Structure 1
Amino acid sequence: MANRTIKVQNQSTKNDAVITELPAACADERAAVEFMEKQRWGGFPACPHCGDIDVYQMKNLNTGQRQANYRWRCHGCKQQFSVRVGTVFEDSRIPLRHWCYAFWRASTSKKGVSALEIKRQTSLSYKSALFMLHRIQFAMQDVHTTMNKLSGDVEVDEVYIGGKPRFKLFGKSAPRKDKPAVVALVERGGCVHAQPVANVTGKTLKDVIRKNVEISARILTDELQAYSGLEKEFAGGHETVCHPRGEYARGDVTTNTVEGFFSIVRRGLDGIYHSVSKEYLPLYLNEFSFRYDFRNLDDGERTRLAIRRANGKRLTYKEQIE
């Protein structure tokens, strides 16, 4: 019991340090570089080109201070690098202190932070602020694999972004060409997977469920006919609630959790971002899913995790719009 107490205390101290360091990192470029290096490498910098840890800081021969570009050099491959290399902010001329601010706000604001707000706080152009926001959202994504599929009780629901009736009647599945459809799968007490879909037909929705949910799971949905037959594919079965009859819970059979997630998404898209194009919608879903998945972490640890996820990811403009 004593060891557990010490571990919790140390964790709290570590997280408090992140929150303490962030304001300075958002105000001073050198502090921002050192903060990013600490979060990315944890005190053990490694060459992003060859992986060698035999590296050293490049310093001014006259002053002994770090060079203005804050570069490192690898003894192994002889290449130079900075903390930016191999991340979503590689080749960006935006100061790292602004990246620190944007990561902080995007990780900790419940409904998100708009590019316009980032512009106001950093004095960057709107285009640069949006550039940062989209790349941070890209960094936040998590690739679902067979090792981390959703399990247990998994609630599934779909919405048309821009509005869905409170009472989903039989005409619910009628196409709404002006509004993109999004499906979300939430593991109770766990993570969420959300993505845009071309339509809400049985084939489309079931393909998403099969790809992201363990076959041992129990699937919970509303009465939409597209979900019928799932009980034959998942060992936990498939149970539904019938909203047109006013049924929203029957014992532990409910879709309230996934509907709660969509409520957060809607409030963020309507209240913070106002308008999101279909092309960029996946990036915004990354952001909402990230904050939901790590809702039990404190702000410092969530920011730390977002920054670490930037490692090994790059997003070009061409990739962004495809």
Structure 2
Amino acid sequence: MIALLNQIPSEVKIRKHLRKIIFGSHLFCPHCHSRKVYALENRYRCRKCRKPFSLLSGTWLSSMKISLRTFWALLWCWTQKVPILQTQKLCHLSEEAVRHWFRQFRLHLPDLEPILQGKVQIDEAYFKSLSLVMAKQAGSKKLAHQVIFKNSVNKSEASQFLFQYIQPKSRLQTDGASIYKNINQWWQVKHKVDIHKKFEFGLTSEIEGLFGNLRTFIRRMYHHVTPEYLPEIVAEFSVKFSRPEIFDSPLSYLEKTINPVPFDYRHRKTNSSIIKA
């Protein structure tokens, strides 16, 4: 079925994309940096140092056992938020394999550590043995979050969250939870409160809606998540919300998550060449 999908390129084209990301415009030996390399089946060998290497050597994909087209199909499904079971049927893999690869994709997302400022909405959510504190800079895509490994949040933990992620002199907008009472005495913020019992939601509507989106994302894409993996899933959701351009395509994701092999120009030879077997 994968062969019928227009969005999954040929293996040759996938190799071309990966080679450009990893090595740039010229293939070279990652050991001695010589460009005198030649292809041998699916690997390369350096004529200078005689050491072999593969296209994916030195990357987090080096131990990959699936085909490049299956890998690309998995990554396409993940970037497009295709559910686990749908991906399993499309890629002809077990649920365990799909979950493994989806986890690898999210573990290699860039870390986002924004400092929020201006009007900042903050709220908490509770998942059995875990608690989640999340804040959103109003009118923007900027998020900050922290998972707390117990089923409640106290004033000290709420304060520590502000110390880490909220710029002084911001306007903090929360519900009437007691953990935020007199919070301006612990951090330099102007505190505004929605009392939900009085049907006041205007100051926290964006963060309330975001928690709804998070729950929908988890349910639709992963169906269920154990507490062990919840912090990773929340981080994935946050990056997908804040940096949607990373998920435009498998290529855009790989360009942000695979580090190019560094090339030391001191080793560059004017007569270097690439030899194809």
Please, what TM-score do these two structures have when normalized by structure 1? 0.67
Cross-structure match for 1:95 = 67
Q: Which residue, out of 138, 142, 166, partners 1:191?
A: 142
Structure-1 residue corresponding to 2:130: 180
* CA apart distance, 1:122: 1.2
Highest CA radius of gyration, 1 or 2?
2
The 8 Å contact of residues 74 and 91 in structure 2, kept in 1 or not, is answered as no
Give runs of aligned pairs for residues 60-99 of structure 1, distance below 5 A: 60=40, 67-69=41-43, 71=44, 73=46, 80-99=52-71
Deviations 1:133-192 (A, max 9, x none): 001111224142xxx42222221111124xxxxxxxxxxxxxxxx353212111221321
Q: Which residue of structure 1 aligns with residue 233 of structure 2?
A: 284
Does residue 115 (structure 1) correspond to residue 84 (structure 2)? The answer is yes
Per the alignment, residue 307 of structure 1 pairs with: 254
- d(CA) in 1 for partners of 2:162 and 2:28? 39
Tell me, yes or no, if the aligned pair for 1:185 and 1:192 is still in contact at 8 Å: yes
Shift of 1:234: 4.3
Say if 1:157 and 1:258, in contact at 8 Å, map to a contact too: yes
Q: What is the CA deviation profile of residues 96-145 of structure 1, one whole-angstrom value per residue up to 9, with x for unaligned ones?
A: 222222222222x3xx333322221111222221111001111224142x
The aligned amino acid for 1:192 is L
| 3-state SS in 2 of match to 1:26 | coil
Alignment match of 1:36 (pick from 10, 18, 22): 18
More displaced stretch, 148-157 vs 256-265: 148-157
Match of 1:222 in 2: 175
CA–CA separation in structure 1 for the residues paired with 2:28 and 2:134: 38
For residues 216 and 186 of structure 2, the distance between their equivalents in structure 1, rounded to whole angstroms, comes to: 34
Distance change in 2, residues 1:245/1:106 (3 Å): same
CA contact (8 A) 1:220 1:255 kept: yes
Q: Within 1, Cα distance between the matches of 2:111 and 2:223?
A: 25
Q: Do the aligned partners of residues 271 and 44 (structure 1) sit closer, same or farther apart at CA in structure 2, a change above 3 Å counting? A: same
* Structure ranking higher on relative contact order (CA contacts 8 Å, 6+ apart): 2
Alpha-carbon distance between aligned partners in 1 of 2:23 and 2:182, rounded to the nearest angstrom: 48
Residues 1:55 and 1:99: Cα distance change in structure 2 (over 3 Å): farther
Q: How many residues align?
A: 252
Unaligned runs of 5+ in 1: 1-22, 61-66, 162-177, 313-322
| Partner in structure 2 of residue 58 of structure 1 | 38
% identical aligned pairs? 21
CA contact (8 A) 1:56 1:74 kept: yes
Q: Deviations over 1:262-319 (max 9, x none)?
A: 1111112223322100111122112211210124x4963x64442234325xxxxxxx
Give me the whole-angstrom Cα distance separating, in 1, the residues matched to 2:242 and 2:45: 34
Structure 2 CA distance for partners of 1:99 and 1:48, relative to 1, 3 Å:
farther
State the alpha-carbon separation in 2 of the partners of residues 47 and 185 from structure 1: 46
Pairing 1:265-284 to 2, within 5 Å after superposition: 265-284=214-233
